[in-house]
Amino acid sequence: MSQAKQNNDHPNFLKRELPEDSELWLEEKSQQTLDYLAAQNLEADKWLNSSLQEQLFQEIRHRTPLNYDSYPTDLEYFSYFVRHHEALNYPQYWRYPIGLKDNAKCYLDINPWAKDENYFDLGDLAISPDEMLLAMTLDTEGDEQYQLQLLDLNSGEITYFDDLPPLTSDIIWSEDQSLLLCFPLDDTQRPWQVMVLNIQTGEQQVIFTEEDARFWVGCSKSRDKQTLFIESLSKQSSEYYFVSAKDPLAPLQLISPREEGHEYHADSLGDTLYIRSNCQHPCFSLLSVKKQHTPLNKVQLIESAVIEPGCQYTTFEGFELFDRHLMILSRDHTLGQQHLFIKSLNGQLQHEFKAPLPLVSINLSDNPLSNSQLVRLELESFNQPPALYQYDMANQQLDCLKRMPLNNTDLSQFSSKQITVPTWDGNTLPISLVGQTNILDSDKPAPMLLYVYGAYGDALDPWFSGSRLSLMERGVVFAVAHLRGGGDCGEHWYHQGRLGYKENSIRDLQSSIQGLIQRNITSPQQLVIQGGSAAGIVLGAIYNRIPELITGILAEVPFVDVLRTMSRPELPLTVTEYEEWGNPGNIEDHWRIRHYSPLDNLRLTAQDSISTDKPLLWIEAGLNDPRVQYWEPAKWYYRLQQAGINNVYLRTRMDSGHAGGSGRDQSYQEIAESQ
């Protein structure tokens, strides 16, 4: 594994004092802070081209039909679909008895609730097993603290559970109809318990508590509806328990005790557990054991029956169980392409799924029934909108059920392709490109928006954007650099861009920029880079190191004050992310983070020999953001402003959080603004 040189030769290497922070006042939501943020919003408004923004907003709004229904999904008794209407900012939820479409009725319309809220998010919807009750979670602040409500689908009566603590968005029904599983948050907004709520008596019982602050808890249900899984996950370790879905108050059964570095995921079919684990191979394998043989230590798990062996050329990313079929999703390590295989339950290959599009993302859609040989897949590419397909796993028949509609758009003018550039240490980095075909084939540099992330092992698989078409129609090429730290080229790609190897992510972006310019695909005067959240690290580093090679940066809720945030365990995410970035309480971690943390490496003084002629920088923040606190982007802006850099703007969403505003039109407005 390659390693960029770290800055451990600092004269104060053995000292861990934090650099001076003169902007602490921004961390208080005082009137002074709110007034300051509001004033910067006004400055951003003045700079924006409001007529172009309105034009882009109207293009986005008119491109996607505003009146359409999703394709229905069948449960046991009803078919369910979502209805969008041009006059409504939020969708409606409809259903009808299976086979009786003319009897469709709206069972949930959140528009009357949302109209009086500045922010409104419907986190999760969970239909009871008898399909007579609807449990749902709501967030009206954007802070990702949800409240639970229960709707009687016959009477329309709503039950409120105001005595519950703040919850995650997720909820799961037991199969006995009377119990709901939900997940309370601790003081750092970590899901740390599994609570069972009796909806008839209101009784609350905690069945699992996770004391280790690195681990988050959750729950899932097997597709055959027999088993509930309680999961406790850190960035690098896992622990699973199971219990009957009909009796979640029964004693939990441990599958395998946690060990540092052992990641696994469990599902089941009948009395057999299927376990994706890295205990045999770093790129994961699939094992099977009988429930009665648990718990298993790591050695026993290694000796279990192998359904899907590990492979050095691919990463085994996930699996889905059906009564007669096993779906295996893997990713190759060369260009990061996904591959879907249909196998028997013992792992025997039946065939590989052949996607009808090149450079395609494969996503499993709603498939609630385990006894079906028909599976729904959602496929999309950079230049083709999402389409819902039904795939017959036995007969290899693929049928398109519904395609995302578009108005006034000729998609034939666009194409996509993938190129590679060399990295500083001899690796090959994939870059995806999409734009007008004649521009992609041209030998002249084109305007480019380069999107990046590179963290948590998340892969940037091809995704379609209707709003992006407005840029491409104007001659802009959209590009994605698949940086290390993401999972774009498999598990090893992730590990080469985390902890002591985070510098690789930054240098990968630098290699991407230099490679695109050297190949005359774009030029420094035409290149804008975009990213959000954890991508703030690489965006901020590029702003500090090679500002002359770009003309602008769009930084959405950027994580840029890495050293100070990771030194504060009382903040949300900090402790669990020690395994991603490091713990500054450790001397080496402290200086490694300080070496790249954007706010600690601003080159603003005369001795840095960096002029104030910086790229245009547009920074976005969410006042109620629990993931990246609003003060991080605000401090970045404030320091640049104080240094006399004028072409930097701060937009703070005063009523929302990490994901921006809620509702269709507000979302479209924010997209138009950033474009």
Question: Distance (Å, rounded) from C-alpha 122 to C-alpha 93?
Answer: 12
Q: Are 218 and 228 in contact (CB under 8 A)?
A: no
Partnered with residue 253 across adjacent β-strands are: 242
pLDDT along the chain (675 residues), means of 10: 47 59 91 98 91 87 90 96 96 98 97 95 97 97 97 96 96 95 97 97 97 97 97 97 98 97 97 97 98 95 96 97 97 95 96 92 92 96 96 97 91 96 95 98 97 98 94 97 98 97 98 98 98 98 96 98 97 97 96 96 63 84 97 97 93 95 89 83
Backbone angles phi, psi at 618, to 5 degrees: -110, 120
Q: Are 106 and 94 in contact (CB under 8 A)?
A: yes
Sequence-ordered list of residues with C-beta below 8 angstroms from that of 417, at least 6 positions apart, any chain: 359, 432, 433, 440
Q: Please list the helix, strand and coil fractions of the chain in percent, rounded to the nearest 5, in that order.
A: 25, 35, 45
Query: How much is the pLDDT for 65?
Result: 86
Residue closest to 379 by CA, chosen among 366, 401, 360 = 360
Reduced to 3 states, what is the DSSP secondary structure of residue 670? helix
C-alpha pair distances (Å), 495 with each of 313, 458, 483, 516: 15, 12, 11, 25
Which amino acid does the sequence have at 394? A
Q: What is the pTM of this model?
A: 0.95
Question: Distance (Å, rounded) from C-alpha 633 to C-alpha 650?
Answer: 8
Residue closest to 565 by CA, chosen among 487, 633, 612 = 633
Secondary structure letter of residue 426 according to DSSP: S
Q: Are 647 and 617 in contact (CB under 8 A)?
A: yes
Helices 536-545, 631-642: crossing angle, 10 deg rounding: 10
Residue closest to 275 by CA, chosen among 247, 251, 295 = 295
Sequence-ordered list of residues with C-beta below 8 angstroms from that of 350, at least 6 positions apart, any chain: 325, 341, 342, 343, 344, 393
CB atoms within 10 A of CB 196: 18
Residue ranges with strand state E in 245-394: 253-256, 264-269, 272-277, 285-290, 305-308, 314-321, 326-332, 338-343, 349-352, 360-364, 374-381, 387-392
Question: Distance (Å, rounded) from C-alpha 620 to C-alpha 557?
Answer: 5
Q: Are 380 and 387 in contact (CB under 8 A)?
A: yes
Element (H, E) at 57: helix 50-63
Peptide bond into 295 cis (omega under 30): yes
Helices 536-545, 503-518: crossing angle, 10 deg rounding: 60
Half-sphere exposure of 664 (CA within 13 A, CB side): 19
Query: How much is the pLDDT for 9?
Result: 46
DSSP states along 70-135: PPPEE-SSEEEEEEE-TT-SS-EEEEEETT-GGG-EEEEE-HHHHTT-S--EEEEEEE-TTSSEEE
Residue closest to 234 by CA, chosen among 210, 206, 255, 207 = 210
Partnered with residue 331 across adjacent β-strands are: 315, 338
Q: Are 171 and 127 in contact (CB under 8 A)?
A: no
Sequence-ordered list of residues with C-beta below 8 angstroms from that of 580, at least 6 positions apart, any chain: 235, 455, 456, 498, 499
Residue closest to 570 by CA, chosen among 636, 503, 512, 626 = 626
Query: How much is the pLDDT for 675?
Result: 76
Query: How much is the pLDDT for 607?
Result: 46
Q: Are 625 and 54 in contact (CB under 8 A)?
A: no
DSSP states along 310-326: --SSEEEEEEEE-SS-E
Query: How much is the pLDDT for 328?
Result: 98
Q: How big is the chain by its Cα radius of gyration, in Å? A: 25
Compute the Cα dihedral for 603, 604, 608, 610 and give only its sign.
positive
Which architecture characterizes domain 54-59+414-674 according to CATH? 3-Layer(aba) Sandwich (3.40)
Report residue 251 as tokens.
């004693």
Backbone angles phi, psi at 622, to 5 degrees: -120, 120
Query: How much is the pLDDT for 612?
Result: 53
**β-strand pairing of 477-481 with 448-451:** parallel
Element (H, E) at 634: helix 631-642
Report residue 489 as tokens.
């080229």
Query: How much is the pLDDT for 52?
Result: 84
Question: Distance (Å, rounded) from C-alpha 107 to C-alpha 533?
Answer: 36
